[in-house]
Structure 1
Amino acid sequence: MILASASPAAMALSVAAAAAYAVPAAGARRLSEPAARRALKVGWGVHALAIAWGLLGETPHFGFAPALSVTAWLVLTVYAVETQLFPQLQARWALAGLGMATVLLAAAFPGAPLHVSVSPWLPLHWALGIASYGLFAAAALHAWLMMRVEHSMRTAATPQAGLPLLTLERLTFRFAGAGFVLLSLTLVAGLLFSERLYGQPARWDHKTVFSVLSWVVFAGLLLGRYRFGWRGRKAVRVLYIGSLLLLLAYAGSRFVLEVILRRME
């Protein structure tokens, strides 16, 4: 089956967002702080329009790439809020690159056409799942920044994340805890109310198995944190494993269906 293609309007919005993101991503060291922030805000705004057009436009589509695009946009939203509280936070070039990559990926692989929902609660179920993606992605980003700061401390270099190590660690687990709550709600709704949401009983397919495995890993991470004081590299490794399993749950399975098997289910 031929893969769906983005509409001209969606393609134009995606290219415009990618161009805006490219400014702080490629020229982070040469731009002034205000100019880089403005470019990132423009990219974030046009990115939101591209997502909205893909979901609400003439022919709404959704799939693995739009899911990644929405996740990246949510992470950028979290970053925008955080920089108001922690102006010294430095992750702009990495997030701009992430936004540019995902918005172009969504334009290349817009996914399957959206049909009329079986249940009016289905969009809420999707929103919970994507929000949990975004929160765990934010946790993984902060864990990466935490490791950069720790490496800088070990090598006596200047920390590059802009925040103290303990602050980054606290933020990492707060995002992970919030993501775990939303993931739990998503799984409970999907397993108990699948027939109402999708018109069919719950199936133990790849998406469900990877989602449950990621839930188990994240539950172990949070339990290890609060019961045994897990921190540092050990906690980060567990967080990365859980995030990878969660990524495979929807985006990975949809990638196989849409790109490798060329099926739009």
Structure 2
Amino acid sequence: MILPTASSPGWPLAGAAALAYLVPVFMGRQVSGRAQRLAMTPGWLLHALALAAGVLGSTPHFGFAPALSMTLWLVLATYAVEHQVLPQMQSRGAVVGMAILAAVVVLAAAVFPGLALQERSSPWLALHLTLGIASYGLIAAAVVHAWLMGRAEQRIRQAEQVPGRLPLLALERLTFRFITAGFVLLSATLAEGWLFGEQLYGHAPRWDHKNVFSLLAWLTIAILLVGRARFGWRGRKARRVLYAGAALLLLAYVGSRFVLEVVLGRSA
């Protein structure tokens, strides 16, 4: 397990980002949703600086915690852009939940920075990591939207009228756009891993835990998209399949690296 030194620039940046993320959590219900989202901006910017310090520093590192940190940073960026394009996208609970998660993962990335990247200097590695993290971010954004769909369906069943919210069907279409985009990038990530496995990992592709869980996640999301197109899957059934695929994807890299870095105390 590789831990940063106390002088690492990631530590003060991660601590500052975590504290900034907690500001909207304690703002209370009396403030507007817009003010709450604006309060997350300093945390998001500090989070970006902390990620840059870990990945672009003199000794770049990457592992399960930076992967989670980058994923949540992308989800927050997506959520911020959506609010500019679709002001109806409003959920105070989602903002608070993501702020708490972001505070946790940005600190976790400082504690567990992962493997030194110069040990694997393949020119394909940067593309592989970029595609993988982007697919994680899009699938995670889909999960957040699926949760919002569940909340919207619950309000409809309870005959609760919330004016100005994004219609359920529009939210559903948006969710599946994220799923489709994430599936495309996940497919590209897996294809690159199998085609250039020797350059990336120093050995031919093998059926380890990461590859098995990645393939299972890919199959699960593929089944969801086929079920949606062929059988009109939607609502609770679609959400359950999405959650299963996202859980498998989380186990693929984050889970396997967590076991290696934390449980077994190894970097490879």
TM interval, short-chain normalised: over 0.9
Range with bigger deviation, 83-92 or 131-140:
83-92
Map of 2:171 onto structure 1: 168
- Residue type at the aligned position of 1:204: W
Pairing partner for 1:119 from 103, 122, 139: 122
* Structure-2 separation of matches of 1:22 and 1:84: 22
* Structure-1 separation of matches of 2:239 and 2:34: 32
* Structure-1 separation of matches of 2:195 and 2:164: 42
Map of 1:130 onto structure 2: 133
Map of 1:4 onto structure 2: 3
Alignment root-mean-square deviation, CA: 1.7
Q: Deviations over 1:29-86 (max 9, x none)?
A: 2434453233211111110000000001132211101100000000011011101111
Map of 2:88 onto structure 1: 88
Pairing partner for 2:260 from 229, 239, 257: 257
* Structure-1 separation of matches of 2:103 and 2:141: 17
Map of 2:102 onto structure 1: 99
Please list, as runs of the form range in 1=range in 2, the aligned pairs for 1:26-45 lying within 5 A after superposition: 26-45=26-45
- Residue type at the aligned position of 1:78: T
* Structure-1 separation of matches of 2:98 and 2:163: 15
Q: Which runs of 5+ in 2 are unaligned?
A: none
* Structure-1 separation of matches of 2:164 and 2:68: 24
- Residue type at the aligned position of 1:172: T
Pairing partner for 1:197 from 174, 177, 200: 200
Q: Deviations over 1:203-261 (max 9, x none)?
A: 11000000000000000000000111000000000000000000000000011111111
* Structure-2 separation of matches of 1:116 and 1:64: 17
Q: Deviations over 1:108-133 (max 9, x none)?
A: 22212222544212110110011000
Q: Which runs of 5+ in 1 are unaligned?
A: none
Map of 1:243 onto structure 2: 246
Are the equivalent residues in 2 in contact too, given 1:207–1:248 (CA < 8 A)? yes
CA 1:220–1:124 in structure 2 vs 1: closer, same or farther (change >3 Å)? Answer: same
Range with bigger deviation, 42-51 or 104-113:
104-113
Deviation at 1:15, TM superposition (A): 0.9
- Residue type at the aligned position of 2:193: G
TM-score of the pair, normalised by structure 2: 0.93
Percent identity among equivalent residues?
60
Pairing partner for 2:213 from 188, 210, 213: 210
The reply on whether 1:184 has 2:178 as its aligned counterpart is no
Please list, as runs of the form range in 1=range in 2, the aligned pairs for 1:122-161 lying within 5 A after superposition: 122-159=125-162
Deviation at 1:158, TM superposition (A): 4.3
TM-score of the pair, normalised by structure 1: 0.94
Residue aligned with 2:37, SS: helix
**Number of aligned residue pairs:** 264
